[in-house]
Amino acid sequence: MAEPRLTSYERLDGHEVRAVVDYLGERVDEFLPRHPGLRAATAELGTFVDDLLAGERRWATLRRVLVWVSRVLIVLVVATAVVAVVFAVRDAAADAGGLKAFEWIPLLESAIQDLVYAGVAIWFLLSLADRVVRADLMRRLHRLRSLAHVIDMHQMSKDPAALLPGTARAEPQGPDVVSPRTLSVRDYGVYLDYCSELLSLTSKAAALCAEESTDALVLDTVSEIETLTTGMSRKIWQKISLLRATPRT
């Protein structure tokens, strides 16, 4: 079980995050083999990072395709708008002698509307690639937020009060039955510490999404998940602090 080493210090590397997730999973298997729920949450986070790494290649290809499609459509929109305005001005100029001043107003309004609509279409086409990627990233971030709550639910069932002096300990019901009241101080501490690490890795997985987009909504959601996992980790360390005064068993 070799500890992964970081090789990139300029950006967050998804492959290195995946290696750390694997390392955490190996430690769970070695030190907490009777806790399949925590191991399943670790495996789910690893699957998420794998999907994100696979998505990076898809997004690069998708961006290139959408950029070229957008450019072609922008050229068509601009050409259509210019042709429409030119023909309108030409027809108006041909009848200029028979038109009064106020009769030019509808022509100007029509030209302005055409230009506004063309501008809106161009803005939409220019942001098309980023909007498609943003929609995919937001779906992934929603999945990551749900995973953070699942991890928090795992640690909520671990109450350190069961280990405080004067509290009756329950007897184990079997090697495959895990109850919070039958855990040792060591298992409690390790379990809670791994939950905190898993939440930190969840935050790192969210940060990977920020590496792929500078969209304001994506960045705000990533920041929200980081704040969420930090708050959850703070509650976990409050529990760990209670274990320091208990005798080790």
Where does residue 144 rank: exposed (0-12), middle (13-18), buried (19+ CB within 10 A)? buried
Instruction: Identify the pLDDT of residue 177.
Output: 47
Q: 35 and 141: one domain? A: yes
Q: Assess whether 154 and 49 both reside in one domain.
A: yes
Look up the pTM and report it.
0.72
Q: What pLDDT, in 10s, does the model give residues 2-30?
A: 567 666 677 788 889 999 999 999 999 98
The distance between the two most distant Cα atoms of the chain, rounded to a whole number of Å, is: 104
Which two three-digit tokens encode residue 178? Answer: 């895990």
Listed in sequence order, the residues at least 6 apart from 2 whose beta carbon sits closer than 8 Å to its beta carbon are none
Supply the pLDDT for residue 49.
92
Residue 131's CB is within 10 A of a number of other CB atoms, namely 12
Same domain? 233 vs 158 = yes
Both 31 and 114 in one domain: the answer is no
User: If 0-12 CB within 10 Å is exposed, 13-18 middle and 19+ buried, where does residue 226 land?
Assistant: middle
Is 114 within the bounds of a domain?
yes
19 is written with which tokens? 């290696």
Confirm whether 62 is domain-assigned: no
- Number of domains forming the structure of the chain: 2
Same domain, 138 and 221: yes
Cα distances from 147 to residues 90, 175, 199, in angstroms, run 63, 28, 9
The predicted pLDDT at position 247 comes to 55
pLDDT band, residue 104 (cuts 50/70/90):
low
pLDDT tens track for 42-89: 999 999 999 988 877 776 777 778 778 888 888 888 887 777 777 766
Residue 171 to residues 26, 168, 174, 187, 223: CA-CA distances in angstroms?
28, 10, 9, 16, 44
Whether 140 and 210 map to the same domain: the answer is yes
pLDDT in tens, 153-195: 888 877 766 666 655 555 555 555 455 555 677 788 888 899 9
User: C-alpha 213: how far from its chain's center?
Assistant: 10
Q: How far is residue 147's CA from residue 154's CA, in Å, rounded to a whole number?
A: 11
Give a yes or no: residue 213 inside a domain. yes
Q: What was the pLDDT predicted at 43?
A: 94
Residue 109: inside a domain: yes
Co-location of 113 and 222 in the same domain: no
The H-assigned helical ranges of the chain are: 14-31, 36-94, 105-126, 128-156, 185-211, 216-243
Question: What is residue 142's predicted lDDT score, i.e. its pLDDT?
Answer: 93
Residues 86, 183: one domain?
no
In a domain, 2, yes or no: no
Which band of pLDDT confidence, cut at 50, 70 and 90, is reported for residue 199? Answer: very high
What's the pLDDT score for residue 207? 92
* In a domain? residue 9: no
Give the pLDDT confidence score for residue 167 in this predicted structure: 58
Is residue 222's pLDDT more than 50?
A: yes
pLDDT, greater one: 139 or 174: 139
Q: Tell whether 161 is covered by a domain.
A: yes
Q: What pLDDT is stored for residue 82 in this prediction?
A: 77
- Each residue's pLDDT tens digit, 156-165: 877 766 666 6
pLDDT computed for residue 106 by the predictor: 67
Note whether residue 1 is domain-resident: no
Three-point CA angle 217, 218, 221, nearest 5°: 85
Note whether 40 and 158 are same-domain residues: yes
Residues 141 and 210 in one domain: yes
Examine the domain organization and report whether 116 and 206 are in the same domain.
Answer: no
Across all residues in the chain, what is the average pLDDT? 79
In this predicted structure, what is the pLDDT of residue 228? 94
Please give the residue range of the domain that contains residue 191.
Answer: 14-55+133-165+179-243
Ramachandran angles phi, psi of 212, nearest 5°: -100, -5
pLDDT at 133 exceeding the cut of 90: no
Q: Report the pLDDT value the prediction gives residue 215, as an integer from 0 to 100.
A: 82
Q: Tell whether 32 and 138 lie within a shared domain.
A: yes
Predicted pLDDT of residue 225: 95
